[in-house]
Amino acid sequence: MRTRFGTLVISLFLVLLMAGGVFAGERKLSLWWTVEYSAEEKAALEAIVNDFQKETGIKVEWSGYSSTDLWAKVMAGIEAGNPPDVSQVLSHSLVLLADRGLLMDVSDLIEKYKADMIPSGVEASYIWNSKAGKRSYYCIPWGLYTLTINYWTTDIKKAGYTTLPTDWQGFWGAFEKAQTATGIPATGWSLSDRAEFDVSWPVEQFITAFGGRLIKDGKLDLGPENRTAVIEALKFHTKWYLENKAPKGVTEWGDPDNNTNLQTHKMSMTLNATLSIPRWFYDKERDKYYNETASANYPQPGPLGKPYPVLTNIYPMIIPANAPHPKEAKEFVDFFMQKKNYDKYIKGLEARFFPMYKSTFDDPYFANPKEPHVFPTRQHFFGPSAPINFMLHPAYAKFVIGHGWHKMVARVAVDKWTPERAADEALDSLKRTFERY
């Protein structure tokens, strides 16, 4: 009896010892990623995760979410002390997290890859941290995007154009003429709270085109020039709807609605934060991708006769400051950003997002001048460009997240306020947001 009991104890001890050895030796990390658009995105992520696991032996437990769900989940995870080791986040929420000192400083990784990175993307990743009282790199920007301009070339041709004019008046006027020729609304983008970037980004881009620069040297500038720029941008943003040159439903559109309206040819042109609309044509109706639609570069000079920057944004990876496996997290990010792995991933996304590396832009995939969508949009990063404003100050990010611009636009489009009154209300709200910081 005693022998049996002794054997049992020793066996149990050995099992526990082995299990402990296995668990102690297992290296792992959790990864939260955005998977919301296409099967290719998921496949690209799975491929890089598998390669990483094979090469390092580190097990990756990954979960996919929509970008807005992920945003709330990362917030909750960090606060509950149970964050992921690596996660994607939307750029404006990144600014709020960095400001509160909740993200790991990854300057060493950025320095390693910086030389080949697009400067506006690097600039956008240099973020203020109120807790540390300094700016630093609190994210690894893996993707770039701009407000793309997608349109039906067939409509422009019907208006008598062979190519789009490149000056401001001529460019936008071509779509107005297309409406006259086709009867299809010239353009349309969301004016509703159900959308995120589709509302605020055009506002930001138009403010910039009208000479506005609301953040200067890290401070808010509400001088008369900027007020005028906001008013003119607002007039331009809403005039298409108010003059019946946009579908009537834009005041209730969510983020996908400009996609579907352009895809179904219910308007001639739209602005969209990624190339998701052309990618849909590429997958479903390739002939239209190559022969009936195109994407455009921004008209230069701007409405004031001066060149203006095209605003660019980053898609960042973050490592929370309280990540359970920071060493493994850094290893993963490093692996991800290594050129051979990175190129495979970014091309797997089929140009929905653009690469951070200048050298990747030279790849024929991104540099083919005959390509009707990728190549013209590529030019956004090589002309005058700047990070979108909300990357420059947490108060500005909070204003944008709080739909400050959405409200301004709705004041004019829905409540029929004058642009001056709506702009003043928005700028006052922006000022009060800054005062609380």
Query: By the criterion CB under 8 A, which residues form the site for other proteins?
Result: 71-72, 75-76, 78-79, 93, 96-97, 100-102, 191-195, 247-249, 251-252, 254, 261, 266, 398, 401-403, 406-407, 409-411, 413-415
User: In the structure encoding, which two tokens stand for residue 173, read together?
Assistant: 């006027």
Nearer to other proteins, 16 or 72 (CB): 72
User: With respect to other proteins, which residue has the nearer C-beta, 391 or 410?
Assistant: 410
Give whichever of 79 and 283 is closer to other proteins, judged by the CB atom: 79
Cα separation, 372 vs 304, in Å, equals 28
Between residues 252 and 424, which has the closer beta carbon with respect to other proteins? 252
Closer by beta carbon to other proteins, 251 or else 300? 251
Q: How far apart are CA 427 and CA 221, in angstroms?
A: 10
CA dist list (Å): 52 to 40, 58, 328, 334: 18, 7, 11, 10
Using H for helix, E for strand and C for coil, what is the string for 258-316?
HHHHHHCCCCCEEEECCCHHHHHHHHHCHHHHHHCEEEECCCCCCCCCCCCCEEEEEEE
For residue 222, the minimal CB distance to other proteins (Å) is 19
Q: For residues 185 and 182, what is the distance between their CA atoms, to the nearest angstrom?
A: 8
Residue 407 CB, shortest distance to other proteins, in Å, is 5
Shortest approach of other proteins to residue 193 CB, angstroms? 3
| Residue 405 CB-density burial (10 A; 0-12 exposed, 13-18 middle, 19+ buried) | buried
CB nearer to other proteins: pick between 280 and 361: 280
Q: Which element (helix H / strand E) includes 345?
A: helix 339-348
CB nearer other proteins, residue 255 or residue 331: 255
Smallest gap from residue 201 Cβ to other proteins (A) = 17
Q: Could you tell me whether strands 86-88 and 28-34 are parallel, antiparallel, or unpaired per DSSP bridges?
A: parallel
**Closest separation in Å from C-beta 252 to other proteins:** 4
- Tokens representing 376 are 């013209």
Q: What share of the chain is helix, strand, coil (3-state, %, to 5)?
A: 55, 15, 30
* Peptide bond between residue 301 and the one before it cis (omega within 30 degrees of 0): yes
Q: How far, in Å, are 211, 235, 250 from residue 423 at the CA level?
A: 15, 10, 20
CB of 2 to other proteins, least distance (A): 41
Give the pairing of strands 219-220 and 215-216. Answer: antiparallel
Q: Quick one: 79 or 108, whose CB is closer to other proteins?
A: 79
Given the complex with other proteins, which of 245 and 406 has the nearer CB atom? 406
Least Å distance between CB 418 and other proteins? 15
| DSSP for residue 357 | B
Min CB(72)–other proteins separation in Å = 4
Distance of closest approach, residue 123 Cβ to other proteins, in angstroms: 24
- Residue 349 and residue 345: Cα distance in Å, rounded? 7
